[in-house]
């Protein structure tokens, strides 16, 4: 359970607490193309990725498939709004590769959250970091050039560039496939 050990790090969680948390997860082996969640469903789990890559996406007003996020190794695939407010999701979550993750259901998570003091702090810290990352991405979409957004993705998440199709990377960066090809070509030329 290497990914769970890396994910559930907090000084307030004891080894015993972490073991209880680990045991509450269910191992899920997934195949490329499998859906974890589809638009209109209510999320009942979140998934801790040990191996593989998951993509979240929506369809825009013209029916174009737009990538909203990627979840890779040692990250959590979650629709926070759907899971915790019990409303249908507007996103799809789909495996881009074969892989392994550990799922935990909302009811079990809630029970542990209220019974393990350190899990409260872990959840607060995880949510704060997630909100920070989301804000940084939102600002970068406005203030950074497409080339800089690509470079940042390359530096911070090389797994995405290795495993995701270019068309999904392009929509995640808010650009066309053609623009992404040009940026990649220009960066290769400069190096």
Q: Are residues 130 and 158 in the same domain?
A: no
Number of domains comprising the chain: 2
Burial of 130 (0-12, 13-18, 19+ CB in 10 A): middle
Read off the CATH number of the domain in which 29 is found: 2.60.120.10
10 Å Cβ neighbour count for 84?
15
Q: pLDDT for 173-191, tens place per residue?
A: 999 999 999 999 988 887 6
Q: Are residues 108 and 36 in the same domain?
A: yes
3-state class (DSSP) for residue 165: coil
Q: For position 10, what pLDDT does the model report?
A: 87
Distance CA 101, CA 74 (A): 9
SS3 string of 59-123? ECCCCCEEEEEEECCCCEECCHHHHHHCCCCCCEEEECCCEEEEEEEHHHHHHHHHHCHHHHHHH
Residue found by looking up tokens 């974890």 in the block: 36
Q: Are residues 19 and 87 in the same domain?
A: yes
Q: pLDDT for 37-93, tens place per residue?
A: 999 999 999 999 999 999 999 999 999 999 999 999 999 999 999 999 999 999 999
Question: For a pLDDT cut of 90, what percent of the chain falls above it?
Answer: 90
Q: For position 154, what pLDDT does the model report?
A: 94
Task: Residue 187: give the domain boundaries.
Answer: 144-191
Q: For position 92, what pLDDT does the model report?
A: 98
Q: For position 4, what pLDDT does the model report?
A: 81
Q: Are residues 189 and 115 in the same domain?
A: no
pLDDT higher than 90, residue 19: yes
pLDDT higher than 80, residue 172: yes
């Amino acid at each position: 359970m290497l990914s769970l050990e890396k994910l559930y790090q907090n000084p307030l969680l004891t080894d015993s607490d972490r073991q209880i948390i680990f045991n509450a997860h269910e191992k899920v082996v997934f195949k490329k193309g499998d859906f974890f969640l589809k638009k209109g469903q209510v999320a009942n789990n979140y998934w801790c990725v040990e191996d593989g890559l998951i993509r979240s996406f929506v369809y825009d007003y013209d029916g174009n498939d737009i990538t909203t996020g990627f979840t890779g190794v040692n990250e959590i695939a979650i629709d926070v709004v759907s899971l915790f407010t019990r409303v249908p999701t507007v996103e799809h979550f789909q495996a881009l590769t074969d892989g392994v993750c550990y799922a935990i259901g909302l009811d079990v998570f809630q029970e542990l959250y209220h019974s393990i003091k350190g899990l409260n702090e872990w959840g607060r810290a995880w949510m704060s970091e997630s909100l920070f990352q989301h804000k940084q991405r939102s600002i970068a979409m406005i203030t950074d050039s497409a080339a800089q957004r690509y470079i940042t993705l390359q530096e911070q998440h090389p797994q995405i560039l290795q495993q995701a199709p270019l068309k999904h990377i392009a929509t995640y960066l808010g650009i066309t496939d053609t623009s992404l090809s040009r940026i990649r070509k220009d960066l290769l030329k400069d190096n």
